[in-house]
Structure 1
Amino acid sequence: MTNMALYIWYKFVGAIFRLFPINPRLIVVSNFFGKGYGDSPKYVVEEIFEQNKDYKIVWLVKKYDHNMPDKVRQVKRGTFSELYYLSTARVWIDNSRKHAGITKRKGQFYIQTWHGGIALKKIEGDSKEALTTNYIKSAKSDSKMIDVLLSNSKYFSKIFEKSFWYEGIIKETGMPRSDIFFRSTDNIKMKVRDFYGLQSNQKIALYVPTFRDDHSSDAYDLEYLKLLDELGKKFGEDWIILVRMHPNAGEYQSKVRYSSKVLDGSKYSDVNELIMSSDLVITDYSSCMFDGMLAKTRVILYTPDAKEYLSSRGMYFSLAELPFPHGKNNEELRRIIRTYDDDRMREAYRKFAKIVGMVDDGGASKRVVDLISDQIGEVK
């Protein structure tokens, strides 16, 4: 379906369903345009279940997600059912932009969690030259409908104010998806190890780079086995590496030579559970570096194409301003590992969190559910 056809579909067919009454206890959730159960919306829904709220949850998906809780109804995007539930829900929760053809009606409440907290790469209006006309149209339409936009720091709130085409309420609740980093880790670590069949003494390095706009794979030249050997020498124990590419670089994932030491990190549904279970996170320009910081996990940036990438995308911080060591080739990366200092890491994380005014403390999901309860309570 073309973008114009989809616009007509949402705009005019959706108008029919807007004649139906709003269900005061219905919540419609979406994650990355139908990707499935994950990111901040997942943790908000889990908090709803934890509080035994009597809400009906509908989740919009591209295809059936086996990780979805049985209590959540899955509805395929681009169907009459999607339009019906969007038109009759009291609350929308999303972490990405909604299509420009989707219209919010009076009496509905839209919470935008976004899909990142602190960001390195410039977003939305700050990088509009890299965005399509259709995306900008959808972004501006989406921002007009948002009732509350979530932030996890003073710094990111300011970015939202100037770049998000949004003039509404920003609440510094923290990111619901980051709550996991303030919980007990044992069960999650065991879950990840069981999934991959790992022994209790095996250490995990997680390689999770972002995509390149030109779809080049030249920067994904990490020397896995030499890296693992260096990690063993520095920290002891037996190490494995999980390789998890960005969905937009999925074609590279299929080219990785997997073994008993190099495993497919894309098979696991929740990247934050992987971060929490890892002893080292290696990324490049992905915001997951800040998730690793919240998890108090070692983070190293591998940036062989830093000059080209930074000039093409634009960044809010220089690499030198970040609390993570960075290497531009495999030898530099191994040298960083040889000299890594955990005490220096913890102090760098503390200083950076203070500079940007981070508010994540493990209570974001509860704050969002309290917000939902206040809104749903208004409808009799």
Structure 2
Amino acid sequence: MPETGPRSAPRFSVIVPVYNVQGYLRACLNSLLAQDFTDFEVIAVDDCSPDRSGEILAEFAARDPRVIHVRHEENGGIGAARNTGVQRARGDYLLFLDSDDTFTAGALRAMADRLGEAADPDLLLFDHVRTYWWHAVQPSAVRELLAGAGAEVFKPAERTEFLHMFAVVWNRAFRRDFFVDNGFRYTDGLYEDALMVYTTMLTAERAVCLDHACVEYRQRRHGNSMKTPGRKHFTIFDQYQRLFDFLDGRPDLDPLRPLFFERMVSHFLFTGARESRVRVQDRPEFFRRSVAMYRRHKPAGFTPPPEVDALRFQALERGSYRAFQALNLMSRTRKSGQQRLRKAQRAMSKRAATSFYRMQLKRPIDQNLAVFSSYWNRTPSCNPLAIYEKAREMAPQLHGVWVVREDVVDTVPEGMDHVVVNSRRYWELMARAKYFVNNVNFADAVVKRKGQVHLQTHHGTPLKRMGIDQQKYPAAGKGMSMRKLLERADRWDLSVSANQHTSEQWERVYPCRFESIDAGYPRNDVFFRTGAQDILDIRERLGIAPGSTAVLYAPTVRDYQVGYVPQLDLERITRELGPDIVLLVRTHYFYGQDPHLQKLQEEGALIDVSRHPSVEELCLAADALITDYSSIMFDYANLDRPIINYADDWETYVRSRGVTFDLLSGKPGDTPGIVATSEDELIEAFRSGRWNGTEAGELRAAFRARFCMWDDGHAAERVVNRTFLGNPEPVPAPLPLSERTVPPPPPEAARAVQGVVLASGADTAAGRTPS
């Protein structure tokens, strides 16, 4: 919300209770006064602090009139300090910031904007991060939940997932009139936050979320009152009794009583099990008080939810402290206890995700939401990325979100919305998105709703057998359930195809009800809009010396092998081909980094491009391609540059995986260029110039005609038109091969290639073997 001049009351009143925090107080106040949104007041309540916190407050108040210093003559506790702050507050909204925590940069601006957009709701829920004394920073567990809410305005009592948020008051803003008119006041003692959070959430009519991390929640090594054991922790029973007294006055909230009962009991179990809170000698009494509250407030028909420790619930219900002690003793057995915890966490996470997902499936589909993924949730790439980028241009009303694994989040381009797989926001997106775009399948647990559209882009032209054909080849289909595979394919509505061969194969090996989009592969569009200078820039970034002939070596995976087994002696190949040819080596993405490749790169023998993010850039940079049976050959053929197939294990590959045509037949349309079945043949092909001779060119032309029939630089446009804009025909129609233009090879590379060919021709004419 922009500031428009003087106001009778500030937008925010930030209430800061202060007690024994002189080491943190300056940072807290400075984080407030440095905000770029300035329409606020700070009501800092010195709760008779014994240290110099009062002096620091007086200093800040003298320096900045927005800081209002209030002092208690007697210590009343954090609740009393907050109540004093509320009484003095004039702002539209109340914020409660603990004096050892800080606001992040831009926090108040983000809050003000969100509140303005939502027309001043009762509550604003926002994100935070935890900061540790060793400088680690940990995101909150609710960032996806908050992000998933978007601009929605909701009633908290009807959205129980938000009742599971961290029950503290500093991760939300309260409209002051709502807070005061409903008579909310903090109670004495610990655990006052939970009571305030639950009662305000159950009373509020309108709430919104903000996924901006506004608070840095400091995890202090010492000095945290919650981690100091003593009788003060027995206050938890009084706080929850007040909550149930509140519920008794609201019969309309009876359906929520089991939820709060489970939260209460879980909180008791959590607190009573920690020596940092309840001393050993106090535990029997703490247990008895827990039993009394359990029996007093247990809803009729209540059974413990699957995500909690049901045995401890049962021990409370029976009032058996002996059984409860035995359970605690079992849990203190370190090794087995850790194993059980991990197992329970996994089960709890899975069950909680399933429950949350089912709930989200009942919500309306967001007609402008599209989910993208590629290569089993790796970094954005391939056909889905090309479609995503074109959709941003042609269908700007769509909001695209990428699903990625947690370990690749840092690789997602800046500004690209993304979500971590299996997070809460992930399951909400999977439930509510209209469109799903992937070059593999989404997880089995994803439910295809009526009205949702799944676009399968694939990631290659099938030389090898796929789908139901894999049943005949145990090495290829090991561990694969064909039933589940076809259930996944049953979700497809649309299937992108690069050529007629592919369309026919997909419709046969995936016998499901999808429609083929005969468009070409969107990832190849970049080949038709890249100029010579762009290619030179790519080559420079890769470290290819000017004048060198760059040859990309990109083999495929072998189903009959375990791990990466080099098919070529790369050290020998680079030595024999000579210094004018530089080898770019890219292993299949299924394999990890190869130490031998790294060693050869360090020695300057080759360039390891296995982890380069863009295969398309590598193709553009290369003057020629060496591959075996990888589908990269079909993409590379669009560039009309030499392709050499190194097929030393063709017979084994055919037997173990199966093929859809005879790559080595030598027939036009089957074979893209020169074939070598041994290292000697490969070396000879380069030395003789056959790799780029007339025969190779003729084979390549026939191969292009068969497999590049629709790739013309407009594939993504056709896919977007059909999928998101509803055009039934491929628009625009693919250009004939003769009318297409492809990027020229870089000038240096062209001269180097020309020199090799001329030299080889001269040597051959003289009866010599080129060296």
Q: TM-score range by the shorter chain?
A: 0.7 to 0.9
Q: Does 1:323 align with 2:672?
A: yes
Residue type at the aligned position of 1:290: F
Partners of 1:102 and 1:9 lie apart in 2 by 15
Q: Which residue of 2 aligns with 1:23?
A: 366
Q: Tell me, yes or no, if the aligned pair for 1:302 and 1:333 is still in contact at 8 Å.
A: yes
The 5 Å alignment of 1:351-366 reads 351-355=702-706, 358-366=709-717
Q: Tell me, yes or no, if the aligned pair for 1:11 and 1:102 is still in contact at 8 Å.
A: no
For residues 180-226 of structure 1, give each alpha carbon's deviation from its aligned partner in whole angstroms, at most 9, with x where no partner exists.
22222335423422322333323211111112222265552233454
Q: Does 1:181 align with 2:519?
A: no
Query: Residues 298 and 221 from structure 1, CA distance in 2 versus in 1: closer, same or farther, beyond 3 angstroms?
Result: same
Aligned equivalent of 2:429, options 85, 88, 91: 85
Partners of 2:578 and 2:500 lie apart in 1 by 36
Query: Residues 223 and 264 from structure 1, CA distance in 2 versus in 1: closer, same or farther, beyond 3 angstroms?
Result: closer
Residue type at the aligned position of 1:222: D
Query: Residues 262 and 38 from structure 1, CA distance in 2 versus in 1: closer, same or farther, beyond 3 angstroms?
Result: same
Q: Which residue of 2 aligns with 1:373?
A: 724
The 5 Å alignment of 1:291-306 reads 291-306=635-650
Q: Tell me, yes or no, if the aligned pair for 2:673 and 2:697 is still in contact at 8 Å.
A: no
Aligned with 1:247: secondary structure? coil
Displacement after TM superposition at 1:7 (Å): 8.8
Residue type at the aligned position of 2:654: L
Aligned with 2:610: secondary structure? helix
Query: Residues 267 and 352 from structure 1, CA distance in 2 versus in 1: closer, same or farther, beyond 3 angstroms?
Result: closer
Query: Residues 284 and 7 from structure 1, CA distance in 2 versus in 1: closer, same or farther, beyond 3 angstroms?
Result: farther
Aligned equivalent of 1:131, options 457, 467, 477: 477
Displacement after TM superposition at 1:22 (Å): 1.6
Partners of 2:575 and 2:535 lie apart in 1 by 20
Which sections of structure 1, spanning at least 5 residues, go unmatched? 233-237
Q: Tell me, yes or no, if the aligned pair for 2:377 and 2:403 is still in contact at 8 Å.
A: yes
Partners of 1:169 and 1:64 lie apart in 2 by 32
Larger Rg: 2
Aligned equivalent of 2:502, options 138, 149, 156: 156
Q: Which residue of 2 aligns with 1:44?
A: 387
Q: Tell me, yes or no, if the aligned pair for 1:215 and 1:249 is still in contact at 8 Å.
A: no
The 5 Å alignment of 1:282-297 reads 282-297=626-641
The total of aligned residue pairs comes to 368
Q: Tell me, yes or no, if the aligned pair for 1:98 and 1:142 is still in contact at 8 Å.
A: yes
Residue type at the aligned position of 2:567: Y
For residues 136-158 of structure 1, give each alpha carbon's deviation from its aligned partner in whole angstroms, at most 9, with x where no partner exists.
34421221111111111111111
Query: Residues 29 and 341 from structure 1, CA distance in 2 versus in 1: closer, same or farther, beyond 3 angstroms?
Result: same
Q: Tell me, yes or no, if the aligned pair for 1:109 and 1:375 is still in contact at 8 Å.
A: no
Q: Which residue of 1 aligns with 2:682?
A: 333
With 223-232 and 355-364 compared, the bigger mean Cα shift is at 223-232
Q: Tell me, yes or no, if the aligned pair for 1:44 and 1:176 is still in contact at 8 Å.
A: yes
Query: Residues 261 and 156 from structure 1, CA distance in 2 versus in 1: closer, same or farther, beyond 3 angstroms?
Result: same
The 5 Å alignment of 1:1-380 reads 13-51=356-394, 53-62=396-405, 63-116=407-460, 118-128=461-471, 129=474, 130-132=476-478, 134-186=480-532, 188-213=534-559, 214-215=561-562, 217-224=564-571, 226-227=573-574, 229-230=576-577, 238-250=580-592, 253-256=594-597, 257-258=600-601, 259-318=603-662, 319-320=664-665, 321-337=670-686, 338=688, 339-355=690-706, 358-375=709-726
Q: Tell me, yes or no, if the aligned pair for 1:153 and 1:172 is still in contact at 8 Å.
A: yes
Q: Tell me, yes or no, if the aligned pair for 2:378 and 2:408 is still in contact at 8 Å.
A: no
Aligned with 2:590: secondary structure? helix
Query: Residues 226 and 95 from structure 1, CA distance in 2 versus in 1: closer, same or farther, beyond 3 angstroms?
Result: closer
Q: Tell me, yes or no, if the aligned pair for 1:147 and 1:169 is still in contact at 8 Å.
A: yes
With 60-69 and 207-216 compared, the bigger mean Cα shift is at 60-69
Instruction: Give the % identical residues.
Output: 25
Displacement after TM superposition at 1:18 (Å): 1.0
With 89-98 and 349-358 compared, the bigger mean Cα shift is at 349-358
Query: Residues 188 and 31 from structure 1, CA distance in 2 versus in 1: closer, same or farther, beyond 3 angstroms?
Result: farther
Partners of 1:190 and 1:76 lie apart in 2 by 36
Q: Tell me, yes or no, if the aligned pair for 1:228 and 1:240 is still in contact at 8 Å.
A: no
Q: Tell me, yes or no, if the aligned pair for 1:29 and 1:93 is still in contact at 8 Å.
A: yes
Q: Tell me, yes or no, if the aligned pair for 1:7 and 1:101 is still in contact at 8 Å.
A: no
For residues 86-117 of structure 1, give each alpha carbon's deviation from its aligned partner in whole angstroms, at most 9, with x where no partner exists.
1111111000012222111112111110111x
Displacement after TM superposition at 1:327 (Å): 1.2
Partners of 1:134 and 1:12 lie apart in 2 by 28
Displacement after TM superposition at 1:357 (Å): 7.4
Partners of 2:468 and 2:505 lie apart in 1 by 10
For residues 35-85 of structure 1, give each alpha carbon's deviation from its aligned partner in whole angstroms, at most 9, with x where no partner exists.
111110111112123447132111011133445333321211122221111
Aligned with 1:255: secondary structure? helix
Query: Residues 93 and 135 from structure 1, CA distance in 2 versus in 1: closer, same or farther, beyond 3 angstroms?
Result: farther
Partners of 1:135 and 1:275 lie apart in 2 by 35
For residues 234-289 of structure 1, give each alpha carbon's deviation from its aligned partner in whole angstroms, at most 9, with x where no partner exists.
xxxx32211110022325x2322223231111231011210121011111111111
Residue type at the aligned position of 1:223: L
Aligned with 2:402: secondary structure? strand
Partners of 1:247 and 1:291 lie apart in 2 by 17
Displacement after TM superposition at 1:323 (Å): 2.1
Q: Which residue of 2 aligns with 1:235?
A: none
Q: Which residue of 1 aligns with 2:301?
A: none
Query: Residues 267 and 100 from structure 1, CA distance in 2 versus in 1: closer, same or farther, beyond 3 angstroms?
Result: closer
Query: Residues 108 and 346 from structure 1, CA distance in 2 versus in 1: closer, same or farther, beyond 3 angstroms?
Result: same
Query: Residues 224 and 185 from structure 1, CA distance in 2 versus in 1: closer, same or farther, beyond 3 angstroms?
Result: farther
Aligned-pair Cα RMSD in Å: 2.7
Aligned with 2:596: secondary structure? coil
Residue type at the aligned position of 2:466: I
For residues 294-329 of structure 1, give each alpha carbon's deviation from its aligned partner in whole angstroms, at most 9, with x where no partner exists.
121211111222221221110112222322322121
Partners of 1:119 and 1:323 lie apart in 2 by 15
Partners of 2:568 and 2:717 lie apart in 1 by 41
What is the TM-score when the length of structure 1 is the normalising length?
0.88
Which sections of structure 2, spanning at least 5 residues, go unmatched? 1-341, 728-771
Residue type at the aligned position of 2:658: G
Query: Residues 228 and 148 from structure 1, CA distance in 2 versus in 1: closer, same or farther, beyond 3 angstroms?
Result: farther
Aligned with 1:204: secondary structure? strand
Partners of 2:611 and 2:646 lie apart in 1 by 23
Partners of 1:44 and 1:12 lie apart in 2 by 32
